[in-house]
Structure 1
Amino acid sequence: VANILWREEEGLGIGNMFYVFYEDGIKVLQPIECEIQRHIKPSEKLLGFQISDEVCPKSKSDEIQSCIWASAVNVKDKYIYVTQPTLNRVLIVDVQAQKAVQIVSTDAVPVKLHYDKSHDQVWVLSWGDIAKSSPTLQVINQASESISHHTVHTQPVGKQFDRVEDFFIPATTLIINHIRFGFILHKGEPALHKIDLETMSYIKTVSLKDYNCVPHSLAYTHLGGYYFISCKPDTTGAIPPQLIVDSITNSVIGYNGDITGTPYMSPDGHYLVSIDDQKGLMRVQTITIRGEIQEAFDIHTNLRISDVAFQPSFTEAHQYNVYASSSAQTDVLFVELSSGNVKMVKSLKEPMKTEEWSWNEKNRVIVDSGLFSQYLMTPSKESLFILDGRLNNLNCEITEVEKGNVVIWVGEA
């Protein structure tokens, strides 16, 4: 009870806010009463040295000054780094000041960021152009320090820079606080290229050729130390089952049964949720403390799932619920992972169309508020919806927020 009371009374301050990056700048939102705490406009000047710079400068062809964002990361609840793909740069927002404070130039068309807390580095994947013809990986070091930042290139794998399609670095959690390795995925290649995050250098290649698997996405659990890898459709359009790779030996253990689709791991490493939109399936597996992978249950859904978020259960200790947003419909799917109970949160308006969102496959994100808060946010085409995960319902809608599909939660620093 004390815990619940403490949660209700916790001070809001500058933390416990959603930052939403949308066409007309950045909105900072307090989820409980759905108050807009601050609106950073596209024309706002940067605080500090780069004083002549604006948040989203107007180009000659623009009739109205507006913003295009692709990806953002929270750096220790102190800064938010966000990519501006058409400006070839990353903007740094200071959480304490609620202002944009710095611009970091990147390679052309930066589309994906990841913050590696273990080494205080922000990884940047750029496409080179909208056709993804010369992708690169860059790293911004000392990301949480108040210094002037710049990017450095990672060492190319086998001198081939231009093949990078994606990268995967496991997220730090309460349980895993140090991440040593990541993987780079190359276009069309049935392999994972393992990198040492300490030295940013390539260590070895894990071949997936025998399984005819060109990796699409990955998830990691510290229980058993497994990577789960979803594969791209083969030449016939069929999707091979997921592969399991042992993180210690770097060898493929085999297929994850007949499970296909994009893998997502709960923060405690106990639940693997796999989404296969082709089959309209969400498949849930549990992983025991000893690393045994067990079948749990399947959910048939025609939602065409765009994104998923995990949230600690408010009724059971050490349990998680999952929320899934739809790339085409107005419902959010809620699943209680311990029981398989399913509920829909309805009437969340249409998402923007997939073709209006070029930067990744998630045209409607859903973002949770960390381990200690009950709110989630998902955007529609021109609104934001805040859900209450404790009551499993809609808390509020904030209208007139166009294309707010880059969302970051900032907790208490």
Structure 2
Amino acid sequence: MSQDNHSKEYLVSIMFSHYDRNNNGNLEREELEQFAENEDLEELCRGCNLGHMISYDDTDGDGKLNVNEFYMAFSKLYKKSLHTQIQLDRSYVGVSVVSLDKSLEVNHISARVGDNVEIKCDVTGTPPPPLMWRRNGADLETLNESEIRVFNDGSLYLTKVQLIHAGNYTCHAVRNQDVVQTHILTIHTIPEVKVTPRFQAKRLKEEASIRCHVAGEPLPRVEWLKNDEALNHDQPDKYNLVGNGTKLVIKNVDYADTGAYMCQASSIGGITRDISSLVVQEQPTPTTENEERRFFSFHNWGILVYEPSTCRPRHEIRSTDVIPGTQEYVCGVQGVPCSWGRAINVANRYVYVSQPDKDRVLVISEIQMVIVDVVPTDKNPVQLWYVPSLDQVWILNWRNEKDIDVKTVQVIEDAAQKKKHRAIRPEPIDAQFDIIQNIYIPEPQASLLIVKNVLVYSRAVLHGFVVIECQEPVTNRPTGQLLLDYLTDTVLAYKPNLLGKPTISPDSRHLVTLDKQDTGVTLVPMV
């Protein structure tokens, strides 16, 4: 009986929404009569018309039916019908007719990365209906994500939002998906600014240049200041701005040009500045060498460390050197070439480099330029990723000399710490470790995408969307690209004819596919 009443409740809700052609929350006589005429309802009952409901059920006498009056009309009808069958089920408390103000159908929300966001659903009814929240069709309550919660009052709560949380969220009554409210969430970030060099000394009449790297969402506006005052750009003989203002060139410097030059980035997320100091004098003070800026190149005979500003070698580690604290060679005895996998920078302190043929990862101190740790791994460690937020290095082991068959994954924790490290395995998937085809760790989030049953050749993340190029596991035949929602894993689109490697531009605003063919490589730009 209760289930039957709920079915009628849903039916009456649909009827009211369907009859209310102007969506003003009331039923006028003209609306009811016009609907009855269009649907030929008079043929069902001679002498009766839907408009007669105004005469019999308009309890407040305003010439129209509101939600409660419409409910009462059908409530009386249900009671008469049920009385002739069995006693009215006391659990039946009425019909919930949902409604939503036209001006509230689309709600725009703006938040900053790291904020907590609460979104209220304005879909109402009498009595209040249970609500459902969705994103790209996925029920948010079933995601089992700690940062996404739906409260008992129907509100949606997002904890410490990131750029991936931007997008559309919809809410509606559980039993009525016709009345839907859409919330468009926009996420912005505090602008990031970094100037180089921090300090420079120039002689009279020389030229000075300052670069300013700016990042943020939305893209910040760049301004230059000198000693906290706006720089006068209307002096082409003195100042030149390059690359949308991200490089400042000061020509023919004199003593008056000495000062603190500030690159200021501003957006809805806030204002950020970074300072570069310029000193003009007859005999410039030599700038101190940045000890942390070193380039590591890996050869079959060992490792060569360069000073990038001069491109001169500073130190070398030979293949026949013995690793400090061990009795192992860097690569082997004389005549044994080195074999390298991938090298990564870890917190500007260490360089991690894999040696697939020796089943290990070497840890090199960037300051001391020596090997400080050796981490044994599974067979053939090839790929390395560093996750700064977790201070972890993830390893993908091929287990074979070629990129075939399944692989294993290991993790090195506290990667930036001065300690003895070891590689551990993460929790198994389906009670197995050796079923991995590939992994992908987007930046800057520390989330993991593990792909099974399909070989992922390459993938990219663009503002909360994951683009995956797929290949058949055995033949390696390309099968197109998938577009996924990063948050819900919902497949949004499949492009079987888009073949190639998806690549994201450095500012994460453009997606380009590299389509490799026999005749060359074709770039397929996409916004």
For 1:232 and 1:95, the matched residues in 2 are separated by: 38
Find the partner of 2:321 among 44, 52, 72: 44
For 1:86 and 1:235, the matched residues in 2 are separated by: 24
For 1:135 and 1:233, the matched residues in 2 are separated by: 16
State whether residues 273 and 282 of structure 1, in contact with CA within 8 Å, keep that contact through their aligned partners in structure 2.
no
**Equivalent residue number for residue 271 of structure 1:** 510
Structure with higher RCO (Cα < 8 A, 6+ apart)? 1
**Equivalent residue number for residue 389 of structure 2:** 118
State whether residues 231 and 261 of structure 1, in contact with CA within 8 Å, keep that contact through their aligned partners in structure 2.
no
Structure 2 letter corresponding to 1:215:
V
Query: Cα distance, 1:145 vs. partner?
Result: 0.1
Query: Cα distance, 1:234 vs. partner?
Result: 8.5
Cα distance 1:163–1:237, how it changes in 2: closer, same or farther (>3 A)?
closer
Cα distance 1:66–1:138, how it changes in 2: closer, same or farther (>3 A)?
same
TM-score, length of structure 1 as denominator length:
0.55
Query: Which structure has the bigger radius of gyration?
Result: 2
Find the partner of 1:166 among 418, 423, 438: 438
Cα distance 1:271–1:150, how it changes in 2: closer, same or farther (>3 A)?
same
Query: Cα distance, 1:29 vs. partner?
Result: 1.6
Cα distance 1:248–1:19, how it changes in 2: closer, same or farther (>3 A)?
same
Cα distance 1:7–1:138, how it changes in 2: closer, same or farther (>3 A)?
farther
For the pair 1:28 / 2:305, whether they are aligned, the reply is yes
Query: Cα distance, 1:257 vs. partner?
Result: 8.3
Matches within 5 A, 1:40-189: 40-47=317-324, 50-58=325-333, 64-130=335-401, 135-172=407-444, 179-186=445-452, 189=453
State whether residues 437 and 456 of structure 2, in contact with CA within 8 Å, keep that contact through their aligned partners in structure 1.
no
Unpaired segments of 5 or more residues in structure 2?
1-208, 212-247, 250-275, 279-285
Structure 2 letter corresponding to 1:130:
E
Corresponding residue SS for 1:118? coil
Corresponding residue SS for 1:86? helix
Pairs aligned (count): 248
Cα distance 1:13–1:270, how it changes in 2: closer, same or farther (>3 A)?
same
Query: Cα distance, 1:57 vs. partner?
Result: 3.0
| Deviations 1:271-326, CA, capped at 9 Å, x for gaps | 2121111263433435xxxxxxx3xxxxxxxxxxxxxxxxxxxxxxxxxxxxxxxx
Query: Cα distance, 1:247 vs. partner?
Result: 0.9
State whether residues 514 and 524 of structure 2, in contact with CA within 8 Å, keep that contact through their aligned partners in structure 1.
no
Corresponding residue SS for 2:315? strand
TM-score, length of structure 2 as denominator length:
0.43
For 2:385 and 2:495, the matched residues in 1 are separated by: 26
State whether residues 271 and 285 of structure 1, in contact with CA within 8 Å, keep that contact through their aligned partners in structure 2.
yes
For 2:475 and 2:354, the matched residues in 1 are separated by: 35
For the pair 1:219 / 2:460, whether they are aligned, the reply is yes
CA-based RMSD of the aligned residues comes to 2.7
| Deviations 1:198-226, CA, capped at 9 Å, x for gaps | xxxxxxxxxxxxxxxx53221012x2x10
State whether residues 105 and 151 of structure 1, in contact with CA within 8 Å, keep that contact through their aligned partners in structure 2.
yes
Cα distance 1:156–1:7, how it changes in 2: closer, same or farther (>3 A)?
farther
Cα distance 1:250–1:123, how it changes in 2: closer, same or farther (>3 A)?
same
For 2:479 and 2:399, the matched residues in 1 are separated by: 30
**Equivalent residue number for residue 373 of structure 1:** none
Of all paired residues, the percent bearing the same amino acid is 30
Query: Cα distance, 1:11 vs. partner?
Result: 4.8
For 1:18 and 1:235, the matched residues in 2 are separated by: 38
Structure 2 letter corresponding to 1:162:
D
